[in-house]
């Protein structure tokens, strides 16, 4: 496809941006559990943006909160536990 502008990233940089080429088996397993009414566990890893820095109410507007709200609205009472806004340091120690 011919673009009317020069790409900002080289082909190598774009390839390095793809973090996972996997089969999708894990996400399909989680979806199957939700569809069968089984509980799931979820956690988020990130820094200030994940925690909701800059939003008025991080408990309602952060990325993890929005994810959990979506799952709860579509698959009620399926959470075993959640850890919201885990720092990058925790991910390094895990």
Domain ranges of the chain: 11-93
Per residue in 30-85, pLDDT tens?
888 888 888 887 777 777 777 788 888 888 888 888 888 888 888 876 665 555 55
Give 3-state DSSP helix, strand, coil % of the chain, rounded to 5: 45, 15, 40
Please tell me the predicted confidence (pLDDT) of residue 52.
80
37 in the Ramachandran plot: left (φ > 0), alpha (ψ -120 to 50) or beta? Answer: left
pLDDT at 92 over 50: no
Please tell me the predicted confidence (pLDDT) of residue 14.
79
pLDDT at 16 over 60: yes
How many CA atoms within 13 Å lie on the side-chain side of 20? 6
The whole-model pTM stands at: 0.55
Query: Which of the pair, 22 or 1, is modelled with greater confidence?
Result: 22
The two structure tokens encoding residue 59: 């408990």
């Amino acid at each position: 496809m011919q673009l009317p502008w020069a790409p900002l990233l080289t082909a190598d940089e774009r390839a390095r941006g793809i973090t996972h080429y996997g089969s999708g088996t894990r996400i399909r397993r989680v979806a199957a559990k939700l569809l069968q009414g089984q509980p799931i566990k979820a956690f988020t890893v990130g820094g200030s943006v994940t925690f909701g820095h800059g939003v008025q109410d991080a408990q309602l507007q952060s990325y993890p909160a929005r994810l959990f709200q979506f799952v709860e609205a579509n698959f009620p009472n399926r959470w075993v536990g959640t850890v919201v806004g885990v720092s990058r340091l925790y991910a390094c120690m895990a």
